[in-house]
Amino acid sequence: MQATDFGNPNHVALLVQQIRAKTTRPWTIMEVCGGQTHAILRYGIDQLLPDSIRIVHGPGCPVCVTPIETIDQAIQIASTPGVIFCTFGDMLRVPGSDGDLMQAKSRGADVRIIHSPMEAYQLALAESNQTGSNRQVVLFAIGFETTAPATAMAIRMAKEKNLDCFSALVCHVLVPPALEAIFSDENHGIDGLLAAGHVCTITGYHSYDAICNRFGIPIAITGFEPVDLLRGIWNVVEQLESQPRNDRVVNVYEHIATIQGNAHAQQTVDEVFALCDQTWRGIGILPQSGLKLKEKYALYDAQKRFSIRSDRSTEASPCRAADVLRGKIRPVECPAFGSLCNPGNPLGAPMVSNEGACAAYYLYQSIKEDKSQDLEVDR
């Protein structure tokens, strides 16, 4: 299949027809990547499916699962005089327990938006070459297995250059332990899973076999285009409807993802990071679900360098992000959706991030409502 075929309307129509013909019972399918959430809503894939297939959204938005205490730490560090704090843009409006990074920036903190960890490294390199500068560059290193290799590379290069004006506030998280936590809840209600193809491109997908076997959940590794997503849904439905069941992991992102993944990226991550227990916003502490800097890179740990507190904080709002991130409800089922909570006044991270499920529903529902109003006017 060529790259242009992944949005081909004929392929889409055929897959929808196959899924409709195969489905005999209600099934709930979770996708586990914020990019997939947005693609499903943008292309209206949920509307093409039979009513008996319910798509719910997992904990795959890195901004949404970054714990509130880490946002508080980021604000503390960013507010330290002499710090240049580098962050991805969608972290700016994520609420901490008392404000967000945007508010810290408006109070004078030097918060800069970057698109890659290497930009922060380059900035630190430039600072180190600037006579008389004693500013510190701090990278807010968040994200899943996909972004961890670039963070690891930036830190490794900083160590090679003895760059002591660079450090990272690390909050990288791993997908499989979060899925295990969700499926360990006997009331999880999920029948099948679409796993994120780009994560598997880095890690490989061998670890999903254990999840599939342990929890009896068919899994499709899939991408972000309509045909990718529908092929994933078709594979999951086909397994769910089979008698006897033969649950397995099927890779429909075969043009990119492999079972072994990217060995070079994995080695870079292993060189710099070790596994650690990690708090997930809305989910809690999950064993061995995060990455921390190894001892030989401890000099680059911003938490240590700035001696910041790491108090546990709790959400004080009606936000139901925890239920959204576990696939218990869809964003529109949150009472605050669209009223108390909207992109101009987000109560929770899923309404802030470009990858957040609540933001996706708000954006694409509004567009659909606008279009239907236009059609009514046209008529």
Q: With respect to ligand SF4, which residue has the nearer C-beta, 61 or 120?
A: 61
Residues 301-330, interacting with ligand SF4 (CB under 6 A)? 319-321, 324
Strand partners, 3: none
41 touches ligand SF4 by CB under 6 A: no
The residue within the footprint of ligand SF4, chosen from 19, 49, 55, 336 (CB under 6 A), is 336
| 62 scored as a contact of ligand SF4 (CB under 6 A) | no
Question: How far apart are the C-alpha atoms of 231 and 16, rounded to whole Å?
Answer: 9
Bridge partner residues of 166 (DSSP): 137
Q: Which of 63, 124 has the CB closer to ligand SF4? A: 63
How far, in Å, CA of 21 to CA of 250, rounded?
20
* 105 scored as a contact of ligand SF4 (CB under 6 A): no
Amino acid sitting at position 217: I
Q: At a CB cut-off of 8 Å and minimum separation 6, what does 286 contact?
A: 177, 178, 181, 277, 278, 279, 280
Selected binder of ligand SF4 within 117, 177, 204, 350 (CB under 6 A): 350
- Is residue 331 close enough to count as binding ligand SF4 by CB under 6 A? yes
Letter for the amino acid at 212? C
What is the distance between the alpha carbons of residues 121 and 182, in angstroms, rounded to a whole number?
36
Instruction: Using the minimum distance from each CB to ligand SF4, give the nearer residue, 192 or 350.
Output: 350
Strand partners, 28: 54
Binding to ligand SF4 by residue 63, rule CB under 6 A? no
Provide the minimum distance between the beta carbon of 145 and ligand SF4 in the complex, in angstroms, as a whole number: 24
CA 102 from chain centre, in angstroms, equals: 21
Shortest CB 63 distance to ligand SF4, Å: 11
Which span (28-36, 293-301, 306-314, 344-352) binds ligand SF4, by CB under 6 A?
Answer: 344-352
347 is a contact residue toward ligand SF4 (CB under 6 A): yes
65 contributes a contact to ligand SF4 by CB under 6 A:
no
Closest CA to 179 of 88, 272, 286, 332: 286
Taking the complex as a whole, the smallest distance from the CB of residue 111 to ligand SF4 amounts, in Å, to 22
| Residue 341 found at the interface with ligand SF4 (CB under 6 A) | yes
Strands 166-173 and 284-293: antiparallel
Residues 6 or more apart in contact with residue 301 via CB below 8 angstroms: 167, 168, 170, 292, 293
Q: Which of 351, 355, 360, 364 binds ligand SF4 (CB under 6 A)?
A: 351
Site residues, ligand SF4 (CB under 6 A)? 319-321, 324, 331, 334, 336-337, 341, 346-348, 350-351, 358
